[in-house]
Amino acid sequence: MTLAAAEPDVLVVGAGFAGLCMAIKLKEAGQDNFVVLEKADRVGGTWRENTYPGCGCDVMSLMYSFSFAPNRKWTRMYARQPEILDYIERVVRDYDLSPHIRFGAEVISYDFDETTDRWRVETRAGSVFHPRIVVAGPGPLHKPSVPAFSGREPFRGTAFHSAEWDYSVDLTGKRVAVVGTGASAVQFVPEVAKTAARVDVFQRTPHWILPKLDRPITAGEKAAFKAVPGLQKAYRHAIYWSHESLIAGFLHPRLMTVLESAARGLLRRQVHDPELRAALTPGYTIGCKRILVSSNFYPALQRENVDLVTSGISEITERGIRTEDGQVHEADVLVYGTGFAVGDRFENEHLVGRRGLTIQRAWRDGMEAYLGVAVTGFPNFFLMMGPNSGGGNQSIVFVIEAQAHYITRCLALMTKRGATRIEVRAGAQREFNRVIHRKLEGTVWNSGGCDSWYLDETGRNRAAWPGSSASYWRRLRTPDDRHFELSSLAERENDTEYRGPGVLTSGDLTVGVEVFLNGHLEPLDGLYHWYGRVAGDGVDAAKQRSRTPLFLTIGDGPEVPAALAERDPWGHYRIAGAGTPPFPLAAVEVEVPVSGAELASAE
């Protein structure tokens, strides 16, 4: 393949916190040949998409910025969405990232090309890139989830999800039904209630809520941050370590009593009606679902024009919502504060790694990665905010920084070894997951007695890191090269198992060809996979007989089933098969699994 001069070496997907952090870390590492593809026309990721009334961050502002780019302009202890978006845009300017960003570039497919060790990435607009490395930045809380209630279609009013707020609808004087009482709803319900005629809030499960100690950052504090070197950093550290100290409770739920009594205290102070208080009191350990932070949600629920509905939703009707007690709650507008499709992160994506392995097949038993950044079968591909990399107690920006650092170190490792391919070993990923899932068993997420988006439909925790964020950060300082397979194209060409003549047969068609093949035993399925290129006059004809089985024979060897893929720029076809190879095997190297002790603990 001849690469266009403008081909990026690294392709980053998404211009939210993760993608932009990756871009900055690449620049810092001296890598300037990268592009950031952004589907929208503006940076910001989740902070561009979520604009609902009252939208803000429930992590303290001083902790919600990059450690290397402190924000001197925060106006509040808990920043609102416009300020956060403004910060992100400022970072783009300060680090001169705009020349690298391509807007309106939604990726529709990723295919790994083993003959070049590059990815082929195509966008909806038809642009094609062949980067050496792909870093996928879109986070897990990205695709709005709207429950499939029966009868949703006939609703006559307007309905939208909180992450797709429809500002063309003026809620003043309207009857609004809100489904969900999670992190988004507790922020927008108090705002909507100020102008709507009625707000019915449909709660399926109560959430634990801690008070939000929000206030403006005073002029004196701002002046002190400016005048005293290191003061803002010290403040940030204090917030970091106070959040960090909470991890003990997440790992040992019996220690959650302190936090739970703070949440009960808020309920007691703000909700005086015992019946309402009982309806709002969760029946599971705090921390099992993400802990919410709000001081105005309970007061909003007690306004004259607001009702908390606890009877389950049985259907959406033309006029509103029918609950299981038979009541119809009429509404003009229906707002789904129902969260995101976390488990479906790549459900519909065309992401194909080595030898045609799709992400759907790799994750058929559930999402699994190594340290939340690498997935076996997908060389030169890194995830950010991947499975089991988040904590419930810390700012996600901290996690993102650690991951971006780690990925640049993996790239440095490739350069040092002269490798064109890096892939986490299947054994390392398996052992890593065995260790973390064992640790997750006793945590509050798994054993706190609730259902949450941390758990998949089988109850396996696909989201949380079972340790402190400091322990995650430590694990991401330096990649352990024993856990990665590093190789170069040149090495693999020398390793060729067979180069010479062969015969392709397809029905009554027999074609003499030249083949160039190698292969290896795949720990993912235990089969020997062979692959390479084939050239010859009749290969086009064989390729066109897509419905007739195709076989390859070499010399006196067995006739083995084969599949032809697309033609490369030199006119060769890629060919592959699994099982008995058409050439004799000298020796098959079997991967030795990495031991649990080597992987050490997640903590």
Contact residues: ligand N01, CB under 6 A:
57-59, 141, 147, 162, 179-185, 204-205, 290, 313, 337-340, 453
Q: How far is the CB of 204 from ligand N01 (least distance, A)?
A: 3
Q: What is the closest distance, in whole angstroms, from the C-beta atom of residue 460 to ligand N01 in the complex?
A: 17
CB 255 within 8 A of CB 249: yes
Distance linking the first and last C-alpha atoms of the chain: 45
DSSP states of 47-82: HHH---TT-B-SS-GGGSS-TTS--TT--BSS-BHH
Which CB sits closer to ligand N01, 112 or 453? 453
**Pick 225 or 453: Cβ nearer ligand N01:** 453
Minimum CB separation of residue 59 from ligand N01 in Å reads 6
Q: How far is the CB of 147 from ligand N01 (least distance, A)?
A: 3
- In whole angstroms, what is the distance from residue 427 CA to residue 204 CA? 41
CB of residue 462 vs ligand N01: minimum separation in angstroms? 14
Nearest position to ligand N01, beta carbon: 182
Closest to ligand N01 by CB, 150 vs 595, is 150
- CB of 452 vs ligand N01, minimal distance in Å: 7
Q: How many CB atoms lie within 10 A of CB 318?
A: 12
Q: Which element (helix H / strand E) includes 540? A: helix 539-544
Task: Give the CA distances from residue 235 to residues 242, 539, 565, in Å, rounded to whole numbers and listed in that order.
Answer: 11, 68, 57
Pair of tokens at residue 13: 């997907």
Smallest distance from ligand N01 to CB 339, Å: 3
Pull the structure tokens for residue 165: 């707020």
Q: How far is the CB of 217 from ligand N01 (least distance, A)?
A: 18
Whether the Cβ atoms of residue 472 and residue 465 lie closer than 8 Å to each other: yes
C-beta closer to ligand N01: residue 101 or 266: 266
Q: Which of 142, 529 has the CB closer to ligand N01?
A: 142
Residue 393 vs residues 63, 109, 370: alpha-carbon distances, Å: 12, 34, 21
Torsion of CA 145, 460, 285, 399, to 10 degrees: -70
Helix (H, G, I), strand (E, B) or coil at 323: strand
Q: How far is the CB of 247 from ligand N01 (least distance, A)?
A: 17
Cβ(488)–Cβ(540) below 8 Å: no
Q: Which of 343, 326, 477, 497 is nearest to 413 (CA)?
A: 477
Q: Which two tokens stand for residue 583?
A: 């050439």
Shortest distance in whole angstroms from residue 338 CB to ligand N01: 4
- The alpha-helical segments, DSSP class H, found in 228-305 are 231-244, 247-251, 257-270, 274-280, 297-301
Beta bridge partners of 529: 520, 578
C-beta of 203: minimal distance to ligand N01 in Å? 7
Q: How many CB atoms within 10 Å of residue 99? A: 7
Of 18 and 486, CB closest to ligand N01: 18
Residue pair 532/554 in contact (Cβ under 8 Å)? The answer is: no
211 in Cβ contact with 268 (< 8 Å): no
If the CB atoms of residues 344 and 525 are measured against ligand N01, the closer one turns out to be 344
